Amino acid sequence: MNILFVHQNFPGQFKFLAPALAAQGHQVVAMTMQKLDIQAWQGVRLVSYTVNRGSTPGVHPWVSDFETKTIRAEGCFNAALELMKANGFVPDVIVAHHGWCLWKRRCP
């Protein structure tokens, strides 16, 4: 099975799961915003993605976090398309981290 992990600071919560799946023989790729010095970690292929712009100056504070996450998602999407085109990697499953709580006071 082809499994794609997406986490801006991989491995994060997936530090045990991703290598375990790779050890079982699955093709596991992880996409991260980190600059990489290595191309693989514990059997997991690592792919870095970047964003092509920052948040809009002066954007309303209620939408600034949404805009930031959307810009990151666009960078990740473009890198995933490139991964598919250049290497033929088509994931059967995508596992992603949903992000952090916007209002820390409301987080459990």
pLDDT at 82: 92
pLDDT at 54: 85
Indicate whether 29 pLDDT > 90. Answer: yes
Residue spans of the domains in the chain: they are 2-106
- HEC profile for 2-61? EEEEECCCCCHHHCCHHHHHHHCCCEEEEEECCCCCCCEECCEEEEECCCCCCCCCCCCH
- Long-range CB pairs of 85-89, under 8 A, 24+ apart, other chains included: 89/2, 89/4, 89/27, 89/29
Contacts with 37 (C-beta within 8 Å, 6 or more apart), sequence order: none
Confidence class for position 61, pLDDT limits 50, 70, 90: confident
Tell me: the pLDDT tens digits for 62-108?
Answer: 888 889 888 988 999 999 999 999 989 999 999 987 665 444 444 44
Tell me: the pLDDT tens digits for 46-58?
Answer: 999 988 888 889 9
pTM listed for this prediction: 0.82
Q: Which fold has domain 2-106?
A: Rossmann fold (3.40.50)
